[in-house]
């Protein structure tokens, strides 16, 4: 999927260089191309290992399709970080994990205890997400807090409320348990027998969000304004853009996406857990990692949906292979390593290409 | 008339003295406000639960503050230079695990524990520093990455079972009666002393002032002849050293068992302390005194919540509110100053 | 007097990739001399200065300093040699005091600690020698005005025992009074044997302060001339390469309806009692030195700041725009003065930069961008304004100053504005592009747009404006027609003082 951002990306002025040099530049600066190549390389290598018996189970298309169940929440949160980081002025959202926890609990109450119908409960989750995101947006866009600080503070606050509102206990009522069916793999109509089963969540959560965001950012007027304030928000104001409102919308979007993830994760684990998004290192770190890997510049104004999606797939499929290669806990540990190394290499690559080729995708 | 500034040249007949402060005040209004808030909180908590002021409550509080405030010194340096370090939690883990295992398996003496922990921390800090100073990548990204890396290393060394049966070698650093001098936990005392040294260094030595220059405008700093990369590298190495020492404190204040959650979440506690203490996340401005006060505040909240019988996680909510209030008042103050 | 030159550059060549920034440059600087360096944008001036100040190294050629051959490999090298550069943007540390800024990197240290008292005393002496108040030494830089910050930058450059002082467009942000002080300092430094390189687009200043002037054109130094033999006209001709076309025909402004009326407009602390009337098809110039309040008037009409009194009436309707968006809705367009900070989205394309202010118009159902519509509008504007670029997708940051400014102007022209406010429309733009921009503005006015031009370029104001209002100390003090003499206008702008010398 070639998702164009804003106006077509600016082409660097051509100079006389060797063909190899220019191909190298294209690969390094066009993040999407690089990621696609990496996915092919990694998956190919894992399939090779699988074919030769190094892995504890088969790494095949069925497996790759099944693990997409984990790609959905990661990708959605990474999109949230994309929107917030692109908005510039040091934009970042450390509170997404805490929002997921808190909204999950509220969703759990509504659907699992108060007996709300599912669509209404989901709507509640989305609305609460918007409100929580708006708090971030208010602090950053209207008051002028650095985003790191504002979202650090709300991380603490939301995390705490999530834990306290049900006395640290998860909500596991029957309705919640039934939700699991929302996320399991299904066979597609017509072409179903020929391709692997795909988790339902891909169709009910990921693809709709992907389409909406791609349209909004790539073709929409909001997208132009977002990239404008991320590139130069003073100039944006002079050009008549409502900078504060645009930035506020970015953080609200992050909240809404967190709300969707909260519903998804509750369904996936058949339980509304107060630490759903904050256990261990939390969900914010992988989300930001995937965004940066996907080509989002931490300074703002640069970043494409397609890149982030590919980055999410790469990480998920890589992690899936690691789990099969190592046994038990060791697998999760090496996933940490992979995440850390990938982030550092991606960031160094960003730095290198900006210096050598003057910026790019 | 020569316009050169030769400090050795004899001054004109009646040298004109500069009016006004030579340096910004040693304790700034925000820090005074912070002290005020701390005092009020303590009084309120003492009134609500008299047990709060007992030795049994104050001493553990100071013991808990020590590692956070200690790392906070390093984090203050780092944030002054315009960077940040979210990998300290992972680094604490690595240093604690290595030292803990050596203590248990090889019964190494106190001084060697110290050396091992601090050296490990320094190496980790150096790794961060080199990548950030010379890799031209923003610190938050690099340290997000090294956070994972360090955690990985820590978990690998940790193995699969908790480390049990560590000897009491480190008691002097804050466990029980041996860990105190005139009633004050040694770890806290060391922290206060190091804070004072850092404060003096940042305020009165050229090297210290250069951190502010690097954070204020790295390009101008380079033009002034400051080795910008060296300063940035130093900040992360200092943090690493202090992480090593803090892991000693952490081992000391814990039990004889070490589980793999050691250090978890500490990076946020340290950053919260630094921010509440008044250091600007944008760089160029900050104070280690504020960080110490911020750490005290955060821990007071945590202790207070528990003493009052409230759910312990509620303290996080208060920390979040304090961050907003501290940074918010600073923001509004600056805005008011700029628009008279 | 036969002296050893302080600095000579011979046969310097410099390329950036395939672009030859300097084809051939020779430059000789005598001690105690004020040597101006002039040239259009792209002529090679800034590259030459970068070489002298150590920011970059030449590909070929030799540099000697006091007769010795030297290789300057870094800015620190240059500073150690005694070459100090004062840039347009003050490079100071906002959170630190003036004294600390001046001594940063060269602190006076006794027993390991910084000797604050000694540093402050030194700085006070230095400040007073520059007619600056002593208490500035302990002021935090961020609390000072931009002009004062620049004076501090100059002090900082001098503090390092500079033998060569490079001043890059120093008068851009100074008032006339401050420029006089600057010139006094320059003359005194020259008397002390300091060699000064003065870079400026303001040729009248060059005539006033410089002893020699070197003209650069198309990457080469054309020649060095004693200023006594030169006129502004002659220098300009050398810079451009052929005689300037002189537009002596005053424009007959079409008499249209009043588009803009200001009635006693005021903003506390910036300007007061500003009243004017602007008809469609008219070009009204607002001339004022920096600090006179003239830029603030434009910002107020445009909605960036709020008025504290008075009325703004656009086509008979009173308006009070609270934001640029509201102003745009009332048909007001503004070209910002500093395109880099206030106008350009440098790594976005030309199309992006032009359409960002008109997303409503270039949209489908206000939610999606009409890309084919955008493309045709942008291409059309690029042709009209003669923007030199490969296509509408080129990043604006890679364009020259003149072309970037044209893109900024294009942004204002997408929807024919009733009222166009121009703030410093040709600042940092070479003479060729300048003429083109003037032509476009005149064309706009001929087609009915009311143009309000705020400028500190007096020649531009006299050339373009049908009427010229002078703003001084926050209010309008005089009005001139097109035949006014520069000296008269300058006198009105500066108050009681005699106009400064101009060609």
Q: Same domain for C48 and C108?
A: yes
Tokens of C459: 């020649």
3-state secondary structure chain A: CCCCCCCCCCECCCCCCCHHHHHHHHHHHCHHHHHHHHHHHHHHHHHHHHHCCCCCCCCCHHHHHHCHHHHHHHHHHHHHHHHHHHCCCCCCCCCHHHHHHHHHHHHHHHHHHCCCCHHHHHHHHHHHHHHHHHHHHHHHHHHCCCHHHHHHHHHHHHHHHHHHCCCCCCECCHHHHHHHHHCCEECCCCCHHHCCCEEHHHHHHHHHHHHHHHHHHHHEHHHHHHHHHHHCHHHHHHCCCCHHHHHHHHHHHHHHHHHHHHHHHHHHCCCECCCCCCCCCCCHHHHHHHHHHCCCCCCCCCCCHHHHHHHHHHHHHHHHHHHHHCCCHHHHHHHHHHHHHHHHHHHHHHHHHHHHHCCCC
* Contact check, Cβ <8 Å, C95/B19: no
Q: Same domain for C282 and C222?
A: no
pLDDT computed for residue C301 by the predictor: 86
pLDDT tens string A81-100: 999 999 999 899 999 999 99
pLDDT computed for residue A76 by the predictor: 97
pLDDT, one tens digit for every residue, chain B (340 residues): 333 444 443 334 344 444 455 666 777 788 888 899 999 988 888 888 887 878 778 888 899 999 999 999 999 999 999 999 999 999 999 999 999 888 888 888 888 889 999 999 999 999 999 999 998 788 988 998 999 899 999 998 888 778 877 777 777 877 777 777 777 888 899 999 999 999 999 998 999 999 999 999 898 898 788 899 999 999 999 999 999 999 999 988 887 778 778 888 788 889 999 999 989 888 888 899 999 999 999 999 988 888 888 888 898 999 999 999 988 888 887 777 665 4
Q: What percent of chain A has pLDDT over 70?
A: 89
Please tell me if residue C159 touches chain B, with a CB cutoff of 8 Å. Answer: yes
pLDDT computed for residue B24 by the predictor: 64
Mean pLDDT of C332-340: 87
Domains of chain B listed by start with CATH number: 53-326 (1.10.3470)
Please tell me if residue B306 touches chain A, with a CB cutoff of 8 Å. Answer: no
Most confident of B51-65, C21-35, C136-150: C21-35
CB-CB contact of C220 with C23 (8 Å): yes
Question: Is the residue at C357 inside a domain?
Answer: yes
DSSP H or E run through C183: helix C176-191
* Contact check, Cβ <8 Å, C367/A222: yes
Q: Same domain for C208 and C266?
A: no
Question: Is the residue at C245 inside a domain?
Answer: no
Task: Name which of A143, A134, A128, A123 is nearest A84 in CA terms.
Answer: A134
Question: Is the residue at C233 inside a domain?
Answer: yes
Give residue C390's pLDDT band: very low, low, confident or very high (50, 70, 90). Answer: confident
Closest-CA residue of chain C to B284: C95
B chain contacts of residue C96, beta-carbon cutoff 8 Å: 209, 212-213, 216, 284
B chain contacts of residue A84, beta-carbon cutoff 8 Å: none
Model confidence at C407: pLDDT above 90: yes
* Contact check, Cβ <8 Å, A224/C390: no
CB-CB contact of C241 with C235 (8 Å): no
Q: Are strands C164-168 and C195-199 parallel, antiparallel or unpaired?
A: parallel
Please tell me if residue B228 touches chain C, with a CB cutoff of 8 Å. Answer: no
User: How close does chain C come to A81, measured CA to CA in Å?
Assistant: 21
Question: Is the residue at C503 inside a domain?
Answer: no
pLDDT computed for residue B18 by the predictor: 46
Question: Is the residue at C252 inside a domain?
Answer: no
Q: Same domain for C374 and C450?
A: yes
pLDDT tens string C88-112: 777 889 888 899 999 888 888 888 8
* Contact check, Cβ <8 Å, A333/B156: yes
pLDDT tens string A231-258: 999 999 999 899 999 999 999 999 999 9
pLDDT computed for residue C240 by the predictor: 64
* Contact check, Cβ <8 Å, B145/A156: no
Q: Which of B137, B160, B282 sits opposite A350 (nearest CB)?
A: B137
Please tell me if residue B17 touches chain C, with a CB cutoff of 8 Å. Answer: yes
Q: Same domain for C357 and C489?
A: yes
Model confidence at C463: pLDDT above 90: no
Question: Is the residue at C422 inside a domain?
Answer: yes
Question: Is the residue at A4 inside a domain?
Answer: no
Q: Same domain for C364 and C311?
A: yes
Q: Which of C99, C118, C135 sits opposite B19 (nearest CB)?
A: C135
Question: Is the residue at A230 inside a domain?
Answer: yes
| Number of domains present in the structure of chain C | 2
Domain hosting C356: range is 258-494
- Kindly provide the b/e burial profile for residues C342-366, where b requires at least 16 CB atoms within 10 angstroms of the residue's own CB: bbbbbbbbbbbbbbbbbbeebbeee
User: How close does chain B come to A350, measured CA to CA in Å?
Assistant: 8
Q: Same domain for C137 and C216?
A: yes
Please tell me if residue C54 touches chain A, with a CB cutoff of 8 Å. Answer: no
Please tell me if residue A18 touches chain C, with a CB cutoff of 8 Å. Answer: no
pLDDT computed for residue A185 by the predictor: 76
The ipTM estimated for the assembled molecules is: 0.83
Question: Is the residue at A62 inside a domain?
Answer: yes
Mean pLDDT of C334-341: 86
Could you tell me the CATH number of the domain that includes residue A133?
1.10.3470
pLDDT computed for residue B277 by the predictor: 92
User: How close does chain C come to A307, measured CA to CA in Å?
Assistant: 18
* Contact check, Cβ <8 Å, C328/A224: no
Question: Is the residue at A348 inside a domain?
Answer: yes
Q: Same domain for C131 and C265?
A: no
- Chains B, C: CB contacts within 8 A come to 120
Question: Is the residue at A154 inside a domain?
Answer: yes
Question: Is the residue at A2 inside a domain?
Answer: no
Q: Which residues does chain A have with pLDDT short of 50?
A: 1-16, 357-361
Could you tell me the CATH number of the domain that includes residue C390?
3.40.50.300
Q: Same domain for C203 and C297?
A: no
Q: Same domain for C137 and C276?
A: no
Q: Same domain for C318 and C227?
A: no
Model confidence at C130: pLDDT above 90: no
Question: Is the residue at C502 inside a domain?
Answer: no
Question: Is the residue at C1 inside a domain?
Answer: no
Please tell me if residue C370 touches chain A, with a CB cutoff of 8 Å. Answer: no
Question: Is the residue at A169 inside a domain?
Answer: yes
| Number of domains present in the structure of chain A | 1
Domain hosting A320: range is 19-357
Q: Same domain for C213 and C272?
A: no
What single DSSP character describes residue B163? B
């Amino acid at each position: 999927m070639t998702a164009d951002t804003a106006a077509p990306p600016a082409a660097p002025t051509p100079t006389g260089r060797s063909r190899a040099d220019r191909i190298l530049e294209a690969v390094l600066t066009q993040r999407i191309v690089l990621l696609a190549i990496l996915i092919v390389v990694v998956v190919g290598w894992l399939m090779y290992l699988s074919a030769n018996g190094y892995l504890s189970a088969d790494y095949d298309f069925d497996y790759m399709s099944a693990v997409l169940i984990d790609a959905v929440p990661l990708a959605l949160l990474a999109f949230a970080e994309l929107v917030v980081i692109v908005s510039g002025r040091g934009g970042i959202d450390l509170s997404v994990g805490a929002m997921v926890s808190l909204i999950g609990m509220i969703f759990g109450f509504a659907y699992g205890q108060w007996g709300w119908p599912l669509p209404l409960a989901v709507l509640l989750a989305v609305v609460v997400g918007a409100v929580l995101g708006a708090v971030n947006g208010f602090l950053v866009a209207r008051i002028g807090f650095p985003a790191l600080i504002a979202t650090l503070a709300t991380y603490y606050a939301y995390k705490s409320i999530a834990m306290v509102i049900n006395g640290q206990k998860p909500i596991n009522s029957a309705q919640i348990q039934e939700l699991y069916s929302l996320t399991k793999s299904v066979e597609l109509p017509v072409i179903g027998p020929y391709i692997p089963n795909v988790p339902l969540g891909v169709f009910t959560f990921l693809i709709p969000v992907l389409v909406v965001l791609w349209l909004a950012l790539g073709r929409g007027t909001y997208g132009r304004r977002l990239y404008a304030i991320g590139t130069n928000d003073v100039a944006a104001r002079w050009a008549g853009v409502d900078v504060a409102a645009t930035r506020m919308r970015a953080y609200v979007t992050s909240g809404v996406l967190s709300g969707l993830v909260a519903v998804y994760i509750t369904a996936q684990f058949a339980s509304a857990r107060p630490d759903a998004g904050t256990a261990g290192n939390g969900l914010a770190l992988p989300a930001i990692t995937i965004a940066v890997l996907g080509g989002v510049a931490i300074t703002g104004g640069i970043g494409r949906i397609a890149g982030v999606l590919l980055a999410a797939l790469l990480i998920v499929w890589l992690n899936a292979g690691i789990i099969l290669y190592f046994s038990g806990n060791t697998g999760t540990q090496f996933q940490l390593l992979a995440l850390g190394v990938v982030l550092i290499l991606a960031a160094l690559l960003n730095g290198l290409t900006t210096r050598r080729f003057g910026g790019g995708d | 008339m020569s316009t050169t500034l030769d400090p050795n040249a004899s001054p004109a007949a009646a040298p004109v003295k500069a009016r006004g402060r030579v340096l910004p005040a040693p304790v700034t209004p925000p820090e005074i406000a912070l002290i005020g808030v701390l005092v009020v909180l303590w009084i309120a908590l003492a009134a609500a639960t008299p047990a709060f002021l007992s030795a049994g409550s104050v001493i553990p509080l100071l013991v808990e503050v020590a590692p956070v405030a200690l790392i906070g010194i390093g984090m203050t340096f780092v944030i002054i230079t315009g960077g940040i370090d979210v990998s300290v939690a992972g680094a604490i883990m690595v240093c604690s695990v290595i030292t803990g295992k050596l203590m248990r398996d090889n019964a190494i003496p106190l001084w060697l524990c110290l050396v091992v922990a601090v050296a490990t921390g320094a190496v980790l800090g150096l790794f961060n520093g080199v990548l950030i100073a010379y890799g031209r990548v923003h610190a938050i990204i690099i340290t997000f990455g090294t956070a994972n890396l360090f955690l990985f290393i820590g978990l690998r060394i940790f193995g699969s079972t908790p480390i049990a049966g560590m000897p009491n070698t480190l008691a002097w650093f804050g466990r029980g009666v041996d860990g105190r001098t005139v009633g004050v936990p040694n770890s806290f005392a060391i922290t206060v002393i190091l804070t004072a040294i850092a404060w003096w260094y940042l305020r009165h030595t050229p090297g210290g002032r250069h951190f502010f220059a690097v954070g204020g405008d790295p390009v101008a700093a380079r033009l002034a002849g400051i080795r910008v990369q060296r300063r940035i590298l130093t900040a992360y190495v200092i943090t690493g050293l202090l992480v090593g020492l803090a892991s000693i404190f952490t081992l000391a204040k814990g039990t004889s068992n070490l589980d793999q959650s050691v250090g978890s979440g500490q990076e946020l506690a340290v950053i919260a302390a630094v921010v509440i203490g008044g250091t600007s996340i944008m760089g160029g401005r900050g104070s280690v005194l504020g960080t110490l006060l911020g750490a005290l505040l955060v821990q007071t909240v945590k202790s207070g919540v528990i003493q009052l019988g409230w759910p312990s996680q509620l303290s996080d909510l208060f920390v979040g509110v304090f961050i907003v209030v501290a940074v918010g008042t600073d923001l509004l103050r600056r805005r008011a100053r700029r628009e008279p | 007097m036969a002296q050893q030159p302080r600095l000579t550059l011979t046969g310097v060549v410099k390329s950036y990739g395939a672009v030859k920034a300097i084809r051939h440059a020779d430059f000789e600087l005598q001690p105690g001399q004020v040597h101006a360096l002039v040239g259009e944008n792209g002529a090679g001036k800034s590259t030459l200065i970068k070489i002298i100040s150590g920011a970059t190294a030449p590909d070929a050629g030799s540099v000697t300093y006091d007769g010795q051959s030297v290789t300057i490999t870094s800015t620190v090298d240059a500073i150690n040699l005694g070459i100090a550069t004062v840039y347009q943007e003050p490079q100071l540390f906002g959170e630190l005091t003036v004294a600390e800024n001046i001594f940063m990197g060269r602190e006076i240290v006794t027993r390991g600690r910084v000797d604050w008292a000694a540093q402050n005393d030194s700085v006070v002496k230095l400040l007073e020698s520059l007619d600056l108040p002593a208490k500035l030494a302990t002021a935090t830089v961020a609390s000072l005005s931009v002009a004062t910050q620049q004076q501090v930058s100059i002090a900082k450059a001098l503090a390092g025992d500079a033998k060569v002082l490079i001043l890059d467009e120093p008068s851009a942000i100074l008032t006339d009074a401050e420029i006089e002080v600057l010139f006094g300092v320059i003359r005194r430094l020259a008397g002390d044997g300091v060699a000064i390189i003065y870079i400026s687009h303001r040729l009248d200043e060059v005539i006033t302060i410089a002893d020699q002037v070197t003209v650069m054109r198309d990457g080469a130094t054309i020649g060095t001339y004693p200023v006594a033999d030169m006129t502004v006209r002659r220098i300009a001709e050398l810079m451009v390469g052929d005689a300037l076309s002189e537009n002596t025909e005053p424009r007959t402004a079409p008499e249209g309806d009043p588009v803009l009326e200001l009635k006693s407009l005021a903003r506390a602390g910036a300007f007061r009692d500003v009243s004017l009337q602007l008809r469609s098809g008219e070009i009204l110039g607002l001339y004022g030195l920096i600090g006179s309040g003239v830029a603030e008037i434009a910002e107020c009409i445009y909605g960036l700041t709020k008025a504290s009194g008075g009325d703004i009436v656009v086509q008979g309707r009173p308006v009070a725009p609270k934001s640029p968006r509201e102003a745009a809705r009332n048909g007001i367009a503004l070209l910002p003065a500093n395109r880099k900070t206030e106008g350009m989205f440098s790594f976005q394309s030309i199309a992006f930069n032009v359409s960002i202010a008109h997303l409503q118009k270039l949209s489908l159902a206000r939610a999606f961008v009409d890309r084919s519509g955008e493309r045709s509008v942008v291409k059309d504007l690029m042709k009209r304004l003669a923007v030199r670029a490969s296509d509408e997708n080129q990043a604006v940051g890679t364009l020259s100053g003149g072309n970037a400014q044209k893109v900024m102007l294009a942004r204002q022209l997408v929807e024919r504005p009733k009222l166009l406010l121009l703030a410093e429309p040709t600042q940092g733009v070479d003479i060729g592009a300048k003429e083109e921009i003037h032509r476009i503005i005149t064309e706009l006015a001929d087609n009915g747009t009311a143009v309000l031009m705020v400028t500190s370029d007096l020649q531009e104001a006299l050339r373009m404006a049908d009427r010229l209002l002078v703003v001084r100390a926050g209010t309008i003090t005089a009005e001139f027609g097109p035949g006014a003499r520069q000296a008269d206008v300058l006198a009105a702008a500066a108050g009681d003082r005699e106009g400064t010398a101009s060609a």
